Amino acid sequence: MPKIGSYPVRGGLLLFTLLAGVALVGRLARISPSTAGAPVVINETAVPPIPTLNPEWVTRGMVIYARECATCHGANLEGLPDWKQSLPDGSLPPPPHDSSGHTWHHPDSLLLAIIAEGGDPAYNSKMPAFRDKLTEEERRAVLEFIKSTWGENEREFQWWMTATESGS
């Protein structure tokens, strides 16, 4: 009977182990530096590679987020429960900014505009404007921090939305 290390392996398990190893190697190859810089392609539309997050801005954004945003959007970016359900006044609760929400569905320009100008009054949003409270660089740092919490797929999609915005 074949062995992996000192463990005996039956045919089906050996095939499963080999396939799992191939999948792992493929996953590692996808995120390895050798593929860094590859374009993001969605619906056969390629955009430049995802920009690298700036660690200093991520740290700065985390501090600003904790001070200015966490009260409403949650310390872990989780938003409020039932954030898609209107409140009695017609407004929506603060949404999550982690991967479970929809923040990553929007381009940078829209997200930065919402941070600067506040939520959309057409939706009776209660989000305040931060234009006079945070500099443009601080608003960008908050967005950089939020992006740092997303998974690879969310980052790719959000970058694609940002990069293709002028073409839509």
**Neighbouring-strand partners of residue 3:** 8
- pLDDT per residue over 2-55, tens digit each? 433 333 434 443 333 333 333 333 333 333 333 457 788 877 778 888 899 999
What is the pLDDT confidence band of residue 1, given thresholds at 50, 70 and 90? very low
Amino acid occupying residue 151: G
pLDDT above 60 (res 77):
yes
At the top level of CATH, which class does the domain 47-167 belong to?
mainly alpha
Q: What is the pLDDT of residue 44?
A: 79
Q: What is the mean pLDDT of the chain?
A: 80
pTM over 0.95: no
d(CA 12, CA 66): 50
Sequence ranges of the domains in the chain: 3-36, 47-167
